[in-house]
């Protein structure tokens, strides 16, 4: 197969933002997406999920998401937006193609997939983290007779069950808001939950990211705001008014057959435990290049593998780059660097 100039691995918001800027060049490129349909990881989220920015600030470069300044889009609106975006710009996405591993031979990247082998002069990994959920290793997990799942697997309330929600971030707060309407819940948090003021949302966080970026360009250092604080989207405000968030428990120490327990002797019977404990970057396909070593980057460029960039993995590859609006800046800079490299 004739080598591409660039192969983008992934088909979500980060890959599409990179594709937007690649289409404005003369480079020959392709996007390989493991999903069956457009929409990236959003299509797997629970139905009531709400983005934490109004629609105007949930947009990729070139097209504003419909909804305006006051409306907080839901999961399906994000999927519809990314689907229309991909179609509007006729981005060359091949799916479903799962990249198994990437290595480099004779100056070219060899991209092995479940379908074909592709070759490229440069590679952009934009696989995100959805497929690498993190669940803490807690003793006696195997003895628990109930159900254990990650927020990535959550779909709908467990009506009539007693559910423990673990995690004090936005996912935990939103899932707890929905569950608390139909069942008995416990909230388990490592730290005290921190709620942003009602008027602060993703737009504020994006503006802060812009200030951080501009400061770095001037050689200054700023302390970035936390992206883990809870944004007061409508569902969370409603749950707050019902006093859902007034009590929480520290992390439990062990599972029991019918629930969870702490070393101080406290026990709670629960039927379901949902871990809203984050994700790690999905980078197993790059293992042949790095042999398990940490991937060091400057911006999005991998320092130990010429021709490789990583886009959309959060603060590691650009503050707020794991958000829809935040990834555009790093995608643009990445394509500029690729042009210089090639």
Q: What is the pTM of this model?
A: 0.89
Task: Please give the Cα distance from 117 to 56 (Å, whole number).
Answer: 39
Cα 11 from chain centroid (whole Å): 13
Task: Please give the Cα distance from 63 to 337 (Å, whole number).
Answer: 23
Where is pLDDT greater, at 273 or 205?
Answer: 273
**Phi and psi based region of residue 191 (left: phi greater than 0; alpha: psi -120 to 50; beta: remaining):** beta
Among the listed residues 227, 44, 254, 45, the one whose alpha carbon sits nearest the alpha carbon of residue 136: 254
The CA–CA distances, whole Å, from 270 to 62, 142, 185 equal 47, 15, 9
Average pLDDT over residues 9-24: 98
Pair 122, 176 in one domain: no
What pLDDT does residue 163 have?
98
Instruction: Please name the residues in contact with 248: beta carbons below 8 A apart, sequence gap of 6 or more.
Output: 168, 187, 188, 189, 192, 193
Instruction: Give the sign of the dihedral formed by CA 211, CA 236, CA 77, CA 16.
Output: positive
User: Per-residue pLDDT tens for 183-237?
Assistant: 999 999 999 998 888 777 666 666 666 676 666 667 766 665 555 588 888 899 9
Average pLDDT over residues 85-101: 98
Q: What is the span of the domain harbouring residue 315? A: 4-132+279-341
Average pLDDT over residues 300-328: 90
Pair 66, 100 in one domain: yes
Task: Please give the Cα distance from 301 to 244 (Å, whole number).
Answer: 43
Structure tokens at 273: 């435990």
Pair 108, 170 in one domain: no
What pLDDT does residue 294 have?
81
Query: If you average pLDDT over every residue of the chain, what do you get?
Result: 92
Pair 148, 267 in one domain: yes
- The answer to whether position 223 is within a domain reads no
Which DSSP string corresponds to 119-149?
Answer: EEEEEEE---STTSB-----TTGGG--SEEE
Pair 89, 21 in one domain: yes
What pLDDT does residue 57 have?
84
User: Per-residue pLDDT tens for 26-35?
Assistant: 999 999 999 9
- From the number of C-beta atoms within 10 Å of its C-beta (0-12, 13-18, 19+), residue 226 rates as exposed
- The answer to whether position 240 is within a domain reads no
CATH label of the domain that carries residue 111: 3.50.50.60
What pLDDT does residue 205 have?
64
What pLDDT does residue 53 have?
82
Average pLDDT over residues 172-190: 96
Pair 146, 88 in one domain: no
Task: Please give the Cα distance from 308 to 120 (Å, whole number).
Answer: 10
- The answer to whether position 197 is within a domain reads no
Average pLDDT over residues 108-124: 97
What pLDDT does residue 174 have?
96
Pair 45, 85 in one domain: yes
């Amino acid at each position: 197969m004739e080598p591409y100039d660039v192969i983008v691995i992934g088909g979500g918001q980060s890959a599409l933002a990179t594709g937007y800027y690649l289409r404005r060049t003369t480079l020959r490129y392709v996007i390989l997406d493991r999903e069956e349909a457009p929409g990236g990881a959003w299509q797997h989220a629970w139905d009531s999920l709400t983005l934490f920015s109004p629609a105007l600030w949930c947009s990729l470069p070139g097209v504003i998401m419909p909804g305006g300044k006051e409306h907080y889009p839901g999961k399906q609106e994000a999927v519809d937006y990314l689907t229309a975006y991909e179609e509007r710009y006729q981005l060359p996405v091949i799916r479903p193609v799962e990249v198994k591993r990437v290595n480099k031979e004779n100056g070219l990247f060899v991209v092995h997939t479940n379908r074909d082998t592709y070759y490229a002069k440069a590679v952009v990994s934009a696989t995100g983290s959805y497929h690498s959920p993190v669940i803490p290793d807690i003793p006696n997990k195997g003895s628990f007779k109930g159900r254990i799942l990650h927020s990535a697997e959550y779909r709908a309330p467990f009506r009539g069950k007693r559910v423990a929600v673990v995690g004090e971030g936005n996912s935990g707060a939103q899932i707890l808001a929905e569950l608390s309407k139909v069942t008995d819940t416990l909230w388990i948090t490592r730290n005290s939950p921190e709620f942003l003021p009602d008027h602060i949302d993703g737009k504020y966080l994006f503006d802060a990211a812009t200030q951080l970026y501009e400061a770095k360009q001037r050689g200054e250092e700023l302390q970035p705001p936390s992206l883990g604080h809870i944004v007061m989207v409508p569902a969370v405000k409603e749950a707050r008014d019902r006093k859902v968030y007034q009590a929480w428990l520290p992390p439990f120490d062990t599972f029991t057959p019918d629930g969870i327990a702490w070393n101080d002797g406290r026990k709670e019977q629960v039927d379901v435990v949902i871990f809203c404990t984050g994700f790690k970057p999905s980078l197993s396909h790059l293992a042949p290049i790095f042999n398990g070593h940490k991937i060091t980057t400057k911006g999005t460029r991998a320092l130990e593998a010429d021709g490789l960039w990583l886009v959309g993995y959060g603060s590691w590859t650009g503050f707020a780059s794991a958000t829809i609006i935040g990834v555009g800046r790093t995608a643009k800079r990445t394509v500029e660097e690729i042009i210089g490299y090639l």
